Each structure stands twice: as C-alpha cells, then as structure tokens.
C-alpha cells in the first residue's frame, strides 16, 4: 500500500503542478480581479476646505509623512476634522479615498 502513494505522486506530480500554476494564472488574469478603481478626486470639492499656513495648527506630526509641522506649509482639514499637510493628503488621495486616521470615506462626506 505504501508504494501506491509514492507511485501516484511520481505519476501525477507534474500534472498537479501544472494545474495549480494554471489556477494561479487564472486568478491574476481575471479582468474582474483588478482591485479598486482609481477615482479622480478634486481636493477642493471633497473637503470643506480649510487651509491654513501652518502656525502650530497641526499640533502633532503629520501621520502621512511623519514630519513636524513646518512654517509656510499649508494644512488641510478633512470632513472628519483631521488635519494634514496639503501636499501629503493630496498624494494620499491618489491611492486611497479614506482618512488616514479614522478611515472614514472622504468621498461620502
């Protein structure tokens, strides 16, 4: 009986590997499995835009770039009242439409 398992493995191993590779290719080639659709976001229409020249308005480090607030850098407030450097949140929204802190969908606001 032990030889049957070994014989089966020897005879069908390459078929099984080819089958698995084919299944993996099907998953990655599937047109319906392309991830989230990229959404064009206009910052001015999404935010109840509050722009400030950074003068300690952003008390903590920006959670996107981890930098301290710097002088002459604009800060934006999201609809959920979280503040970020303007350039940071604009870049963030190119890839994700949720707030980096609370994950609220900014487009639904």
Domain ranges of the chain: 1-34, 43-108
Res 38: pLDDT? 54
Helices vs strands, H then E, count in the chain: 3, 3
Grouping H, G, I as helix, E, B as strand and the rest as coil, residue 88 is helix
pLDDT at 48 over 50: no
pLDDT at 40 over 50: yes
CATH class, range 43-108: alpha beta
Pick from 71, 93, 69, 94: nearest CA to 83: 69
Distance CA 87, CA 59 (A): 17
pLDDT band with cut points at 50, 70 and 90 for residue 42: low
pLDDT tens per residue, range 74-84: 778 788 888 88
């Amino acid at each position: 009986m032990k030889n049957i398992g070994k014989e089966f493995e020897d005879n069908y191993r390459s078929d099984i590997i080819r089958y698995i590779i084919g299944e993996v290719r099907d998953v990655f080639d599937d047109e319906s499995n392309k991830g989230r659709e990229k959404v064009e976001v206009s910052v001015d229409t999404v935010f109840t835009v509050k722009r400030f020249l950074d003068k300690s308005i952003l008390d903590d480090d920006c959670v996107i770039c981890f930098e301290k607030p710097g002088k002459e850098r604009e800060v934006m407030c999201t609809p959920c009242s979280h503040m970020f450097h303007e350039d940071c949140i604009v870049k963030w929204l190119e890839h994700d439409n949720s707030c980096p802190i609370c994950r609220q969908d900014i487009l639904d606001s």
